[in-house]
Amino acid sequence: MANIMIQRGSKTEYVFYLPKRDLEDDIVSMEFDSPEKWGGEIKLNNGGTYYIDPQSKPAKLPISLRAKRLDAAE
């Protein structure tokens, strides 16, 4: 589990930021993206995949969350 931050992006809707790795990347797809259910599996532009527990859509971004790494692109 790692602390991450999800922000609004300019190119894509969301940007993923992992401070520990200085990783800042566009989120290309998010499993759930509706007001009630938001989160799940996140795919990054660099090919990495992370998982955040599905929750209701946050009222404002950026937001700090805990994420699980499924597949990091190295």
Partner 1 sequence: MSALTREETEALIQEVLEVYPEKAKKDRAKHLTVNDQSIEQSKKCITSNRKSLPGVMTIRGCAYAGSKGVVWGPIKDMIHISHGPVGCGQYSRAGRRNYYVGMTGVNSFGTMNFTSDFQEKDIVFGGDKKLAKVMTEIEALFPLNKGVSIQSECPIGLIGDDIEAVAKKTTAETGKPVVPVRCEGFRGVSQSLGHHIANDAIRDWVLPRREGKAFEGTPYDVAVIGDYNIGGDAWSSRILLEEMGLRVVAQWSGDGTISEMEKTPFVKMNLIHCYRSMNYIARHMEEKYSIPWMEYNFFGPTKVAESLRAIAAHFDDKIKEGAERVIAKYQAMMDEIIAKYKPRLQGKKVMLYVGGLRPRHVIGAYEDLGMEVVGTGYEFGHNDDYDRTIKDMGNATLIYDDVTGFEFEEFVKRIKPDLVGSGIKEKFIFQKMGVPFRQMHSWDYSGPYHGYDGFAIFARDMDMTLNNPCWSKMTAPWLKKEEPVAEKEAA
C-alpha 42/C-alpha 14 separation (Å) is 10
Please identify which residue in 3, 29, 37, 62 interacts with partner 1, judged by CB under 8 A.
62
Helix (H) / strand (E) element for 55: namely strand 49-55
Give the sign of the dihedral formed by CA 5, CA 71, CA 30, CA 13.
Answer: positive
Q: How far is the CB of 65 from partner 1 (least distance, A)?
A: 11
Q: Is residue 22 a contact point for partner 1 (CB under 8 A)?
A: yes
Please identify which residue in 37, 56, 64, 68 interacts with partner 1, judged by CB under 8 A.
64
Q: How far is the CB of 27 from partner 1 (least distance, A)?
A: 15
